[in-house]
Structure 1
């Protein structure tokens, strides 16, 4: 009886151990599959510490999702510094399917160079790509790459391959590498010894570490049978097309290699994810189309709706308030009237300028260009109406810049230009023809201000009410 009881008591223990063993084995297998789903990887990096952290976070997510949409046969890896917010890490892993590798920020010994740009202070974190030794090959990417086609053939390239978008210096916005702890340790050693670096960033260091790449042969993909080349190769320009080439002819004409990847190495405030990038730069809309199809704009829509409601409320309030606002705050002074008049003119002009500048900086930077420009025009109109009511200005001259900006956008967005030179000339011609109109509007505004001052229309004595000027008509 005791033996039966003992056997009966052992069964739960055995069952629990069996379940634990099976679940542990499954977790190990699942983790292994997650980490090593493929032999190769597309990798990018993300760190914080700049005013543009959120924009690059969005750019990294769109890059990861666009690669997933192309069904690439490789893992998607993000090399993230330890201070990246945890909610961003979770979004990358759980929503985007990326594998996040956490690293310590690599100290930049070149940060005191005279030509050093602070936005590249942590860019040497890119060297951690050589530590991804679980993979045969890694294609290392900057966040501002726009993929048009699948490029898995790059995994057949050698130990190091990159594109020369500059005739003499290859670009590190996309390169292929074979991970190696030996190379990584040697790179760290070179950093500690102060190896020469022309720009103090990853571009200068990696270019100096592989100085002979210009003399290496061009990469031509071998048959897709798993063959991997050895050594170093130059990649055809089609794997890293500088967007500047496109703007000359408004089309691609790169004969060497597939037109697969676009990069935007220009001014930092003209990256494709900013809403003002289109129609200033036509390719910006193509990047936003990828975002619309993958990540969407849910994160910014609440702010867009709130700002729209505020602007519409201002317009409605100004229509109801009419010009009476100006009589609330001013009182005539008999001393130094010329100084007061000139000061008020200057204040009015600065307020007009602020009405057109302020909305530009409070719109979320990464919204769709059509949303961004629409919200900007709405905000500029709303704030201009405040200036019109406050200083009793004629409506049309104040809104001439508004019409000018809207016209410029339409001229730039015209889709049937034969090439970029014609487009630039059209914009220049429009600006040349519009300049006299803008000048006349400024003259009309100054005349309106002078007339209001002479009639004391917006500087009455307290308790007095002045008749509305005959030229004044808001709506």
Structure 2
């Protein structure tokens, strides 16, 4: 491993990097800290030697982060990006959801759009050579270390309803190479006059990396595929299961009945008890695979 570079101002780490590779996630409140705990446990169970690094904002108290520390995660406190007041106003929750409403699913009340841009801090983690970012509302179901060798910028399509979704990426899983130069360039593009990123970091990254490399959909399998495209679901191939829209820790959400098998699986990883053999799980109702 090369000599680590010091982290820039705005970032404060609990410990030095222990690998030249890292799985990185972002935690912005206690709910996502719980999600990240299930994610971290799922990654550890794959046998990876990469770091599990958690970027966390000021909205997360120490108690919520304790389970992540107990799992050996590297915690990095991050400040919000230094964006203009006008940018912040355009991307505030009420303003953004009014101008770009979610029509296919429901975002939970704790969704804070401005926090999403902290994902870009990943490019400041120059003590790593390669990073795989994974949203905290996801699980890793098998070893996916091969992604560290994929090029920047690699992401899976935002596939959850129809094949038309293939033209957009989903930023819940992506491969990146930290770089101070890239981060600086990003900030210059991000906060331009009147810039409005409809789906926050996702729209920005799709624009910043127009020639993004496509990962297989199984590396970011969105939960709505379970009932919208059941023939595509195959447990033996899924690397990352991503609980987009409603979260598995929300009680009685609108899709809780349809998604019960996926919700039960998430709780098994959170508790660390009775985690099933993924290869033995039944595919969704209506799937030709059965």
Which category of TM-score, normalised to the shorter sequence, fits these structures?
A: 0.7 to 0.9
In the alignment, structure 1 residue 104 sits paired with structure 2 residue 79: yes
Cα shift readout 1:18-41 (whole Å, capped 9, x = no counterpart): xxxxxxxxxxxxxx9x52321100
CA offset at residue 199 of structure 1? Answer: 0.9
Whether the 8 Å contact between 1:131 and 1:179 is mirrored in structure 2 is yes
Q: For residue 107 of structure 1, report the CA deviation from its aligned partner.
A: 4.9
The TM-score normalised by the length of structure 1 is 0.46
In structure 1, what is the equivalent of residue 112 of structure 2? 119
Q: How many residues align?
A: 242
Paired residue secondary structure (1:138): strand
CA positional deviation for 1:196? 3.9
Q: Which of structures 1 and 2 has the bigger CA Rg?
A: 1
| Partner residue, 2:145 | 152
2:223 maps to: 243
Name the structure 1 match of 2:271: 292
Instruction: Provide the secondary structure at the position in 2 that maps to 1:167.
Output: helix
2:62 to 80, 86, 103: 86
Give how far 1:192 is off: 2.9
Higher helix share: 1
CA distance in 1, matches of 2:46, 2:228: 28
- CA shift, 1:121, in A, is 2.2
Root-mean-square deviation over aligned CA pairs: 3.1
**1:295: Cα distance to partner?**
11
Please give the alpha-carbon distance, in whole angstroms, between the structure 2 residues aligned to 1:295 and 1:132: 35
Structure 2 counterpart of 1:162, from 155, 159, 162: 155
Q: CA deviation at 1:86?
A: 2.2
Give matches, 1:33-432, under 5 Å.
Answer: 35-47=16-28, 53-93=29-69, 95-107=70-82, 109=87, 110-111=90-91, 112=95, 114-115=98-99, 119-164=112-157, 165=159, 166-194=165-193, 196-199=195-198, 201-213=200-212, 233-248=213-228, 252-253=232-233, 258-266=237-245, 270-276=246-252, 278-281=256-259, 282-293=261-272, 418-419=285-286
TM-score for both structures, normalised by structure 2 = 0.73
Kept in 1: contact 2:34–2:64 (CA 8 A):
no
Kindly state the Cα deviation for residue 265 of structure 1 after the two structures are TM-superposed: 1.9
Once residues 117 and 283 of structure 2 are traced to their aligned partners in structure 1, the CA distance between those partners, rounded to angstroms, is 43
CA distance in 1, matches of 2:266, 2:202: 24
Unaligned 5+ segments in structure 2 are 1-12, 102-110, 160-164, 276-281
Within 2, Cα distance between the matches of 1:87 and 1:102? 14
Aligned residues of 1:62 and 1:295 also touching (Cα < 8 A): no
Greater relative CO (CA pairs within 8 A, separation 6+) = 2
Q: Distance in 1 between matches of 2:244 and 2:193?
A: 26
CA distance in 2 between counterparts of 1:248 and 1:285 reads 19
> Greater strand share, 1 or 2?
2
| Unaligned 5+ runs, structure 1 | 1-31, 48-52, 214-232, 297-414, 422-475
CA distance in 2, matches of 1:194, 1:212: 24
Cα deviation 1:204-227 (Å, max 9, x = unaligned) = 1111111222xxxxxxxxxxxxxx
Q: Find the aligned partners of 2:271 and 2:79 in 1 and give their Cα distance.
A: 33
Instruction: Give the Cα separation in 2 of the matches to 1:285 and 1:36.
Output: 33
